[in-house]
Amino acid sequence: MARDNNFGENMVWFFVGAAMGAAVALLYAPQSGDRTRRLIVRKLSDSRDALADSGTDLMDKGRELFEQGRRVADDAAEIFERGRKMVRG
């Protein structure tokens, strides 16, 4: 479980680093300022979309894990209840 959490954090930091690296690379690009600004805006928009998609994927994975945990807890409660009835006779 902690491993999945670290993966999500690592993905976020990866995208942040990639966006920062792209911004620095674009600032040093041999293009006009107007053209560079348009390119930065486009790349930031693409990065924002990629982050939104990653966030959606992580939320879906979290919901899936929550539901799986709920099923396991329900099964454990049922087993416990059956065991209790057996002991009581």
Question: pTM of the full predicted structure?
Answer: 0.45
Question: Domain segments of the chain: what residues?
Answer: 2-88
CA 2 distance to own-chain centroid:
13
Give pLDDT tens digits for 52-89. Answer: 888 888 888 899 999 999 999 999 999 999 988 888 86
Pick from 23, 20, 19, 21: which is nearest to 36 by CA?
23
19 burial level (CB within 10 Å; 0-12, 13-18, 19+): middle
At 1 the pLDDT is 46
